[in-house]
Structure 1
Amino acid sequence: MVGRGTADDRVTGEYPGAGELPFDWSAVGPADVASGGRARFRGTRVRAGNAMARTRASLLDAAVRLIAERGTRRTSMTDIAQAAGIAKGTLYNHFRNKDEVFAALVEAEILLIADECRGLALEDALAVAAIRLDTHPALRRVADDDPAALAALVGADAGAAGWRAARSGAADVLAASGRDPRGAELVVRWLASHVAAPDGDDAEAGARLLAAVLPLRALATV
């Protein structure tokens, strides 16, 4: 896809972030799941410990807001830099093109949702993740603007960085719940189904069912 910026802004042949799976592009907590409330939109929240990390976080925040407002096709590198209040040259110190911006955004969001799900009961963690995918404005904008691109994200190579991060986070949540971490692949594929076909009405029921069939760690090691 090609953005509307300069030639330097153009995507390099694949959908921005190809190979990455967008997971945490919303803000839903356990209370939202219990109440059935709608997610509120927010950008990427990164714990930045130094100036470079803060700049990177600002750029990713800007990118996710712009995607929600106008989609990926009409979001250029210039737009991202301006929205973040950062010089375009500084943006290129962090990312060479939109592919890298969107891939980094995806990975940051995956790590965030995994962190937020730790400590929750497994059923709640699954429901929170699914509802976020169902309701996030940026992800839904991509679905509306370019369904083929969304399908490419869901069907990306399983060895891509985004998928690896997702499986790792899911495995951690499963292990903390006393479940077999090898069930992470099933969890990630279930969440991916919410990317491709959002169904908020199914999130909690699906989470309960999935949590019930995932094997316990003790049983899996016998």
Structure 2
Amino acid sequence: MGTREGQPGKNTIRIGIVDNDPCALHMMSLLVEQADPAFRMTWVAENAQHALEHCLYDEQGTKAQVLLLDMALHGLSGPDVCERIRRHDADVGIIGVTAYPIKHYRDALVRSGAQGLLEKHALGKPDVLANAIAQAAHGQAVIPGFPTPQAAHAALVGTTALPSLTHRETEILRMYSDHMSTEDIAGYLNISSGTVFSHVHHAMGKLSVSSRNEAIKTCRAIHLF
């Protein structure tokens, strides 16, 4: 986690980024700073907890106005982080970023209150990145179908919190839903079959279901994949 120094100008947009890959985090920071002279990196974080601390507890005048949120974080998924922030904050613009196909996260991120979702390769296009950040900072949806921050906050505060699965738990259940075998999942993720079963067991408990198939059905019903 780090905080960037510098005096904000009148039209400065303060930006925070969270990504558990240090190289990706550094590259995104550079791309943001190069996209528009009005953009100022306020902080960067390598894990969800530090990002939550910044978004929920930073002073109002120093809070990031836009958060670039990686979807594949350790511990909590990107949509989980987004929802926790959005339930407490109706102002910050949240833009999801992913190296995976957007379809894996889009519906869950819409429900979680983000303003858009971009593939990481699109961040290399200065106009795309600059427009997305500017729209999110001014309380607008970046992508059609996504809510404004205010509308998303209003919707979430009137609902019961959804089960909070970790990214790995969601990932494994999604792989099972794609008809991958336990052995294939273990090999792909470089973990043991026992660890795969352990993640599924934990997910079933959180979802209050008694079988893997029920867990998959529940995840689909609440648009986790």
The verdict on a shared fold, with TM-score over 0.5 as the criterion, is no
Whose helix proportion is higher, 1 or 2? 1
Question: How does the TM-score come out when normalised to structure 1?
Answer: 0.29
Whose strand proportion is higher, 1 or 2? 2
Question: How does the TM-score come out when normalised to structure 2?
Answer: 0.29
